[in-house]
């Protein structure tokens, strides 16, 4: 939920509580006023009727001709039984032509030695209409405030928060590799100005650190190759010397292998760094079948040396959108992995479908959990010459290009499934 929506809902909740509380207070004040008015009416009515009954020639018919009062002579009563007996009732109002609510008061009163039962009535319709009008008015006030709040929410979201939303869009699409400068956000709001300034400062520091790290990585990856090449050349010359003893030859061979391993590791880590930095942005729509056939031809000699049979089957045309260099690295690593971890006289099966590529190879079971197969430097103990980075690179490329790569083992086949 957006911040402005939460703020609006909070304001509406507070407004509803204030209006409800105000309505309750106003209702009680009005109701107390009406009750006082009813009491005053009955007292006044009682005083007038008492005055009429004090007349020696009391005319009860004239008094009872009014519908709002009724007086009955009760000679059978010696003492008063009712004193201000109030109740609500429904009576027929001849003027309105309908039954309406009334407040009634009945009492026994002795006037000039005679006992009378007096009943007085007061219509409550106007009072109820007044209370209902108060509640209705408050309800409409709340509806108007609700409409104003929603309008304010819309206007604030469209105009007041526009610089903030624009800044968010820049953050979403910001990339270190594009090298694009951030557009200036015009706003008069102090908080948004501070946010934009902090964001500009942060991106500037990040870009500077990124450039420094990138240059350092590239320099290390490049400069280390020269001394490694010199070491390899010197070791090769040393190995050709006839004066080496058997032990010295073994030592020289170990140095050569370690140097080759270090050179290969340096290039591979440099490639991973470039992939993570998203430096490969040349996306093309490539035919996988046409791409796989020459790649498999390049591995033909290596497969023949190991006497591994390679079966390639393309059931449908398949196209993938990716940087050509990354696709070459991806497929080369998968095929090389299938060859490196295969048996002598083993088998590799490659099946290409419209949106899926499956590469299966025979081989020994893993000596670690399947979920760790794409981890860096994770390799099978039987193949210590492997860097353990090939499949990590495969996963990096897939993540970068929104591809799905998965692994499963069904003895004796190791299968990698690439979905695109």
More confident residue, 347 or 279: 347
Cis peptide before 412 (omega within 30 of 0): yes
Position 119 scores a pLDDT of: 93
What's 92's DSSP letter?
E
More confident residue, 97 or 309: 309
Beta pairing class for 404-410 and 413-419? antiparallel
Contact 393, 400 (CB under 8 A): no
Alpha-carbon separation of residue 300 from 257, 307, 382, 394 (angstroms):
25, 10, 23, 21
CA distance 4 to 226: 60
Q: Which two tokens stand for residue 345?
A: 């006289």
pLDDT at 382 over 60: no
pLDDT tens profile 202-237: 888 887 877 777 777 766 666 777 787 888 788 888
CA distance 257 to 321: 38
Q: How many CB atoms lie within 10 A of CB 398?
A: 20
CA distance 286 to 295: 14
Average pLDDT on 47-52 reads: 90
Q: Which of 40-49, 282-291, 348-357 has the lowest mean pLDDT?
A: 282-291
CA distance 271 to 264: 11
Alpha-carbon torsion angle 199, 201, 204, 210, nearest 10: -80
More confident residue, 394 or 158: 394
Mean pLDDT for the chain? Answer: 83
Average pLDDT on 175-182 reads: 64
Q: What is the pTM of this model?
A: 0.50
pLDDT tens profile 315-355: 888 899 998 888 988 999 899 989 988 888 899 999 999 88
* Best mean pLDDT range from 16-25, 33-42, 250-259, 267-276: 33-42
């Amino acid at each position: 939920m957006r911040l402005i929506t939460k703020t609006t809902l909070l304001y509406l909740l507070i407004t509803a509580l204030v209006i409800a509380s105000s309505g309750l207070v106003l209702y009680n004040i009005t109701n107390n006023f009406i009750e006082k008015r009813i009491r005053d009416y009955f007292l006044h009515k009682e005083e007038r009727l008492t005055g009429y009954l004090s007349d020696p020639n009391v005319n009860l018919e004239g008094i009872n001709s009014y519908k709002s009062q009724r007086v009955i002579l009760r000679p059978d009563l010696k003492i008063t039984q009712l004193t201000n007996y109030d109740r609500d009732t429904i009576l027929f109002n001849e003027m309105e032509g309908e039954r309406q609510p009334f407040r009634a008061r009945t009492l026994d009163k002795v006037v000039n030695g005679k006992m009378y039962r007096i009943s007085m009535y007061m219509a409550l319709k106007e009072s109820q209409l007044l209370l209902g009008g108060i509640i209705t008015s408050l309800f409409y006030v709340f509806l108007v405030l609700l409409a104003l709040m929603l309008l304010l929410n819309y206007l604030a979201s469209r105009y007041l928060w526009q610089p903030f939303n624009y800044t968010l869009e820049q953050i979403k699409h910001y990339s270190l590799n594009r090298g694009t400068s951030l557009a200036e956000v015009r706003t008069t709001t102090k908080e948004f100005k501070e946010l934009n300034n902090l964001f500009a400062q942060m991106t500037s520091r990040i870009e500077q650190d990124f450039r420094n790290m990138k240059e350092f990585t590239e320099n290390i990856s490049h400069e280390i190759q020269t001394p490694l090449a010199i070491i390899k050349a010197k070791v090769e010359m040393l190995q050709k010397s006839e004066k080496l003893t058997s032990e010295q030859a073994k030592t020289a061979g170990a140095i050569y292998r370690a140097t080759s391993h270090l050179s290969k590791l340096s290039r591979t880590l440099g490639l991973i760094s470039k992939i993570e930095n998203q430096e490969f942005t040349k996306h093309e729509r490539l035919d996988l079948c046409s791409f796989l056939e020459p790649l498999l031809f390049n591995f033909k000699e290596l497969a023949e040396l190991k006497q591994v049979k390679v079966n390639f089957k393309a059931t449908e045309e398949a196209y993938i959108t990716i940087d050509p260099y990354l696709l070459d690295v991806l497929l080369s690593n998968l095929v090389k992995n299938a060859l490196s971890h295969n048996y002598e006289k083993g088998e590799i099966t490659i099946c290409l479908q419209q949106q899926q590529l499956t590469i299966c190879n025979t081989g020994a079971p893993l000596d670690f959990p399947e979920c760790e197969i794409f981890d860096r430097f994770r390799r099978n103990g039987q193949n210590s010459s492997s860097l353990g980075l090939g499949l990590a690179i495969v996963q990096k490329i897939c993540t970068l290009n929104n591809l799905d790569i998965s692994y499963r083992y069904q003895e004796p086949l190791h299968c990698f499934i690439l979905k695109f």
